[in-house]
Amino acid sequence: MLKPLRRWSLRHTLLAVLLPGLLGVMGLELYASWRTALAAANAAYDRSLLGAIKAMDANISTASGGLSVELPYRMLEFFELTANGQVFYRVASGDGLVEIGSAELPAPPRPLIDGQPQFSDATYYGVPIRLGSYARRLTHPLSQGSDSDRVVVQVGETLESRQDFTRRLVLEAVARDLLLLLAAGALVVLGVGGALRPLQRLRQEVASRPSDDLAPIRAEAVPAEVQPLVQAINIHMARYQDVVEARRRFVDDASHQLRTPLATLATQVAYALREPDLQRKDLALAAIKTQLDDAVRQTNQMLALARADSAELTPEPTDVLALGRELTRSLWPLARQRGIDLGFEPLGEGLAATHGALMREALANLVHNALLHTAHGAHVTVQAGLEASGTPAGPRRDAVLRVIDDGPGMPPEELERAGERFFRGQGGRAGGSGLGLAIARAIVERHGGQLLLSASQPGPAPRGLTATLRWPAAADAPTGPG
């Protein structure tokens, strides 16, 4: 039942549920109306029967020692005119030895209580009747035909008038309920259509948008029940827009960064092909090799930056101290080649919620920057582990990866822009891409942290650079979009 309903439109589903429900309620209301009409007819006609019983009881005489009723036929004729049907009566002593009227009237179904009338449905010679029975005590017991001190009065009438009255009440109720059903059905159709009209407008608005329009949908223009869906769509559109923007940036970055190296390579290759001197040709080939190495490194950095912007982030418990130590060891050959003392200092031990491969990439860029921008004989120190950190919400433990060098450093005005894509300071190495710090910052911000830069030796003439990656170690810490 549910699967076919899922294929229907929301309008058809609501109407298919509400309209049969209204019909069911109408059926129950008709049944209740019929019961109410029957009870009302019985109450009205039973009061009339009781009036006839009381009138007949008032005309019972026991003065002669027997039982007699004065003028019963005249009263019955008047009652028949009022009841619009046949009327039967019976007056009898409590023991039934003395009877007046229709002796064959059936006895009441329950024993009579003096002074309390009893009404019941019965059959008299195959004709359905309504029977009223009443009993009371006599002032003096009868002395002729019976010695009972109790008298029983019964009056019965046929049901034509009652049935006609009940039928009219039921027909009126049916007509009233049909009108109410039509009105309620019209209101349901109009209400469902009106409630779904904002969804139609939303569909038209989204369908008429250009393919590149990813602006958020106005949630206030739809019903409250649909707003969570619109908000979820907006979140998805924002994520998709971030992906599209990341791809656009990558294409722009690639075209910006690779255009010049490729043009230079083409020029160098043309020169090498024209050069007859083998020694100069070898020098040209070496220059080409250097230019290719720089292009490969820039391409790898741009791919790393694109991955940092858009890769799915699933942090896992990671030993940050071990991550920093292993990376430092892997770069010792490069440090010895450049004559730089590369050391490692452990911080607090513990696990942190980290995407290990991305964070290793970030630290590798910081260490490479330090090794490439410091002179022969300089010192570079890597620190890794957990540190206590005070926040407005209270103390917490942060994961920290830090690189400290004693090189020339960066002027204060350049520190503010460090980490921007393709920004290279005045003292930057020729051929650098300006992406190392940008990659590190993008990765740590994806972890809900930040890149902090400062001079290693502050003062009037600051020297060195300290680059710190700091992010919350807790597994439930907020992470950047991705």
Using one digit for the tens of pLDDT, what is the confidence trace for 182-222? 888 788 778 777 777 777 777 777 778 787 777 777 777 67
Report the pLDDT value the prediction gives residue 246, as an integer from 0 to 100.
67
Task: Choose the weakest-confidence range: 48-62, 63-77, 90-104, 250-264.
Answer: 250-264
Class level of CATH domain 314-472: alpha beta
**Quick check: 44 pLDDT over 70?**
yes
Handedness of CA 170, 171, 175, 181 (dihedral sign): positive
Domains in the chain: boundaries: 2-166, 209-310, 314-472
> What are 344-394's pLDDT values in tens digits?
999 888 888 888 888 888 898 888 888 888 888 889 999 999 988 766 555
Report the pLDDT value the prediction gives residue 72, as an integer from 0 to 100.
64
Report the pLDDT value the prediction gives residue 477, as an integer from 0 to 100.
46
Report the pLDDT value the prediction gives residue 322, as an integer from 0 to 100.
92
Report the pLDDT value the prediction gives residue 136, as an integer from 0 to 100.
92
173 pLDDT band, cuts 50/70/90, is confident
- When the pLDDT of each residue in the chain is averaged and rounded to a whole number, the result is 78
The angle subtended at Cα 128 by Cα 125 and Cα 129, nearest 5°, is 100
Calculate mean pLDDT across residues 66-70.
79
152 pLDDT band, cuts 50/70/90, is very high
